[in-house]
Structure 1
């Protein structure tokens, strides 16, 4: 059997055995360009959360119908994640990344100019393709830029754009919409995508394809136990997070009895802690990926359970909402890095499975969270979070070492 390390060296994809002592300026610029890309794409993804009312009014549709622009992005993205690394064949990966940002620019412009709901939906579908294809490639590209043993650190920087966009996009979108209209807010996301595309053009080295994936290759990868456990960890932890995090505000309103101002402060703490967790997750993932996964899941389980048990107390609520944010910030770094360690010879195919796992988790989390909050009340979704996060921690402890 051919040694995997030799395969990777022959492919010259930069998966070094030793973590580089320091990155060159060129490496930093390349990784930061990917962070700018994630910020631009996720800003566009979350922007409609602050625009639904004026968007619905302008297009003559209900807010519920307008909300389907988010569904279109996610559903198209789930299909794209499975096919993207197959369809790009042996194209240079830099060309692919720049092309995806060009698609994001065109999609955001179409959404900004759309005279009706269907063209708006088409624009958002294009964004879904760009978003999922980028994430499917992200781990493999980062590994080639920084080396396999620094992938966690590299992904922490790339996903920092996600944390910042999650905090900024809905609120800034609402403000810009009030000042200049929702179409101007959409157009500004096209501007962000242009800047990210230029950053890629200037900073990314040429990235010749080292493999050409087939759909059979992607499915064949699911036979590996490490991949199965890695995907299950993503589904469990992120289903738990999305089932509960959406209902943190109702929990703070109905259980902790906070007013709007303190709730906003608590959610700001969640966002800031997520940024810090993002950085910490990168360092932990490179040092000990199994322990990083255990810590991420355990912190989320403790935070959710503490809110259920003692969330009536304001200090407890603030503290554990912040801890939840820290754990969530670690997740988008630790979970993909954990999955990639099971397939160092097939990072692009593993990236496809990673994105599909996240999309499935988001969908299940939304359905389960909505059902349990309507059926059992405000604490029920957080209980689901605690159970699934604790299950992920147990799964991580049982996961075989590489």
Structure 2
């Protein structure tokens, strides 16, 4: 069977679910690599002789380079086969992990995180467009949910295991432990992904054209506010748990495991219920996750209450990605790679700003101020989204 197609058609009548699973593992490793510093923030700061807020910028620097890579990669890749681009991005993630694990000082750590940012931006810019080519149109939400199942896996196990193993073996050992998994994923990509030839060269004009569509621009800003709210809180969750909830490392690991395992429920729900008109669902992530952050501010002194709140936050976090990427696939189907580049740039920019602003509030004021900033961003997102109808293509 000839699996090569044009950019506007699927790979073939049979969905390439093995390739989708390979991408799901890559997502798990990307999420684990990107946000592992969250569970290791305090020991990393101590080991590198930096403040907690400064070490939080290990996440913001990867976000900065991810923004740049996401805007450039689809154009820079030209007519390169998208399979080889994804393989190259995974190889870059492997290199990044080695650099971070062996970093002798804070500056080298930042270099390793910058390399990871390039990988993040490049992979995510292409991911949704590739999924749209791997499966029939009716299966895209299901395939997206499966791919983002990797996010749930990472959220469930990476942070608690990272926190636990980091306390026993040191934070460097945690990053070293990820390298053989990424190496195996690299081989799986080469075997499972079909050839994905680019039938036409992407350019910045297509991106600018999308930004002139009011519904898409509104959606992009709303997504930025939603993710910005989420990661202003999540990046500095460990300091909050230590200072306000008063947990030790073992309890922190359990709470992070609760948060992560709840992500499986969010992924399942998104795969089952996200289809057709997504407008009513668009404000749900900001509403629930902002409410969870507010709940932590009010009841975060109780370990039991914090556990219940983090479970709801974790379920909504994984569902958020499926909801917004389904919105993108439905409302920018004529330019999926350009739309993917803009979405990834917007999301990574919001993660970057969340880490920067949250770190400044933490170092300059208190962890409570950081969480209040998260709630404010969520409220702005909810106000912009409204019923969601103004973010749909049919309402231009």
The TM tier, using the shorter chain, reads 0.7 to 0.9
- Corresponding position: 1:388 with 2:377: no
- Which residue of structure 2 lines up, in the alignment, with residue 399 of structure 1? 391
- Which residue of structure 2 lines up, in the alignment, with residue 3 of structure 1? none
Deviation per residue, 1:70-110 (Å, 9 max, x gap): 33212111111111111000001111111111222223223
What is the deviation of 1:397?
A: 4.0
SS at match of 1:341: helix
Q: 1:129 to 1:220 in 2, by over 3 A?
A: same
Q: 1:249 to 1:385 in 2, by over 3 A?
A: farther
- Which residue of structure 1 lines up, in the alignment, with residue 66 of structure 2? 77
Number of residues paired by the alignment?
385
Alignment check: 8 A CA contact 1:77 1:131 kept: yes
Report 1 or 2 for greater relative contact order, CA contacts < 8 Å, sequence distance ≥ 6: 2
Normalised TM-score (structure 1): 0.81
SS at match of 2:212: coil
- Which residue of structure 2 lines up, in the alignment, with residue 207 of structure 1? 196
Q: How does 1:130-145 map to 2 (within 5 A)?
A: 130-145=119-134
- Which residue of structure 2 lines up, in the alignment, with residue 221 of structure 1? 210
Distance across 2 between alignment mates of 1:110 and 1:309: 40
Distance across 2 between alignment mates of 1:14 and 1:113: 42
Alignment check: 8 A CA contact 1:150 1:286 kept: no
Distance across 1 between alignment mates of 2:171 and 2:238: 25
- Which residue of structure 2 lines up, in the alignment, with residue 279 of structure 1? 268
Unaligned runs of 5+ in 1: 1-8
Distance across 1 between alignment mates of 2:301 and 2:99: 46
- Corresponding position: 1:337 with 2:326: yes
Out of 141, 145, 154, the residue aligned to residue 156 of structure 1 is 145
Q: How does 1:194-343 map to 2 (within 5 A)?
A: 194-246=183-235, 260=248, 265-304=254-293, 318-343=307-332
- Corresponding position: 1:62 with 2:15: no
Alignment check: 8 A CA contact 1:47 1:173 kept: yes
Distance across 2 between alignment mates of 1:149 and 1:225: 26
Normalised TM-score (structure 2): 0.82
User: What is the CA RMSD across the aligned residues, in angstroms?
Assistant: 3.4
- Corresponding position: 1:37 with 2:35: no
Unaligned runs of 5+ in 2: none
Moved more, 135-144 or 322-331: 322-331
What is the deviation of 1:45?
A: 1.7
What is the deviation of 1:287?
A: 3.7
What is the deviation of 1:52?
A: 5.3
Distance across 1 between alignment mates of 2:305 and 2:198: 51
